Amino acid sequence: MRLPKLTDRSSGVLLHPTSLPGEDLGATAREMVDFLAAAGQSWWQMLPVGPTGYGNSPYSAQSAFAGNPGLISLERLGADGILGADARRHDGGDHLANAFVAFSRSGGADHPDFRRFSEEAREWLEDFALYRAIKDVQGGVQWTRWPAPLRDRDAGALARFRQESQREIDFHRFAQWRFFGDWKALREYAQARGIGLIGDLPIFLAHDSADVWLNRGQFYLDDAGEPTLVAGVPPDYFSATGQRWGNPLYRWAEMRASGFAWWIARFRATLAMFDAVRLDHFIGYTRYWAIPAREPTAVKGRWRPGPGARFFRSVAAALGELPLIAEDLGVVTPAVESLRARFGFPGLKLLQFAFGTDPQAPSFLPHNYPRAAVAYTGTHDNDTTVGWFRDLGSGARGAGQAALERRTALRYLGDDDDLDDDGREIHWRMIRAIMGSVADVAIVPAQDLLGLGSEARMNHPGTATGNWSFRLAPGALTPAIANRLRDLTEIYGRRRPEA
């Protein structure tokens, strides 16, 4: 079965695996692939799948290379005889730890597939497993609070820890083996049905991550490992004080001196898992907002130049074709447009942004889209389409602005200028609009297929709690929804290629 390309006229669905009823890479993930195939779709887009850190955010991962153990399929552990077949994710048991005990007792360290994986992933696996094991032994505190010899990677201290805590290290190697085994099985299942997977590569890393601990010289950190400059964005429409994300910033000069070796390894690993990848905060590759770590808000930051075209030339020289999507939302300068165009990366078009008074709003109207674009009704950072439409005014969008956007949307999406239109099935009307646009790719969040309200929102940017918890009800994506989506897909020429 031929897999899609970003230059194909195609469409897909955005849904993170943790939002599946099973919350893992098991049976309900395969059911999602089956739904996409039945609906004539080409793509399944996800958020980052690394091990989550603070706030359970997939954009604050503890590794740029490891997978999220929370996505490991208990069903497959049972099928492989490593775990009881009746294990359930929410019944209070530490199933992964129990599975590791059973695996170890059966001589699992000599399992040929486990040994093969450990060798192939050695470049990142050993340091990640060591980092996670130390973190566990230290009660889960961040690495800057470990005893100084471990914090500073003293060779003798690390050797002693390995000797004393090999079992803890082996547990994390086991967990990664299971994650990547489940991922390989799901990827093959999707490929057999012609479904491509779109991943997500955050530009920044969590401070409390194996990569920052391992590569301190490539980040703005002090002698104790604490950040001196952190990431964020300046004050804007959404926040009068900007957003202070807190991620440590890269020392791009040092990374350039190494030929961007760490980044090339990161891209290679990510592209080995996905058929296309969304580059989060693409603007940051041209310039980024640097905030002194002592500042409580983003107000006193300043712009610094990003790595630019030289960076992507280096990655492309090492890896060849780069099937990347540029998340270019925000203040899109000519430099951003030039960089994106130079490497042929499609940008993002969000229909929810099309109906306000922002000067960029017209560029989000479907009749203005270029072909080299990925069109969305909204993303994980937006309210659902129904929630957005019903919002009477909140945050930076007052009641008058919300009413204006509703009226404008209804005029644009309706069959006529009926201002008494109450927005019936606004989600399907917006889906139809992006599907009918000339953008090469159209992606619909699963919440919009279901017409869910704000309760189903995935993330509220700038907030640390209450995010990433949306779950689909079992059987929510029905055959009727698949048929309706397939019909639009066929009408607008986005049917999945069959050969």
Contact 118, 173 (CB under 8 A): yes
Residue 208 is a catalytic residue: no
Closest alpha carbon to 405 in 415, 395, 394, 397: 397
- Written as six digits, the tokens of 286 are 């041209």
Per-residue pLDDT of the chain (499 residues; tens, 9 = 90+): 789 999 999 999 999 999 999 999 999 999 999 999 999 999 999 999 999 987 889 999 999 999 999 999 999 998 888 876 555 655 545 889 999 999 998 887 788 999 999 999 999 999 999 999 999 999 999 999 999 999 999 999 999 999 999 999 999 999 999 999 999 999 999 999 999 999 999 999 999 999 999 999 999 999 999 999 999 999 876 678 888 999 999 999 999 999 999 999 999 999 999 999 999 999 999 999 999 999 999 999 999 999 999 999 999 999 999 999 999 998 889 999 999 999 999 999 999 999 998 889 999 999 999 999 999 999 999 999 999 999 988 766 889 999 999 999 999 998 544 445 567 899 999 999 999 999 999 999 999 999 999 999 999 887 778 899 999 999 999 999 999 999 999 999 999 766 5
Tokens 């048929």, residue? 483
> Are residues 182 and 73 in contact, defined by beta-carbon separation less than 8 angstroms?
yes
The confidence score (pLDDT) of residue 396 equals: 67
Composition of the chain by helix, strand, coil, percent to 5: 45, 15, 40
The span from the CA of 25 to the CA of 37, in Å, is 17
448 carries an active-site annotation: no
**Which residues, listed in sequence order, are joined to residue 352 by a DSSP beta bridge?**
none
Q: Annotated catalytic residue: which of 211, 275, 327, 405? A: 327
Let me know if 152 is a catalytic residue.
no
Give the DSSP per-residue string, 371-412.
SSEEEES--TTSPPHHHHHH---BTTB-HHHHHHHHHHHHHH
| DSSP state for residue 415 in the 8-state scheme | S
Q: Of 126, 280, 295, 337, which one is the catalytic site residue?
A: 280
CA distance 59 to 466: 15
Residue 239, amino acid: S
Euclidean distance between CA atoms 134 and 119, whole angstroms? 21
CA distance 129 to 122: 10
DSSP letter assigned to residue 276: E
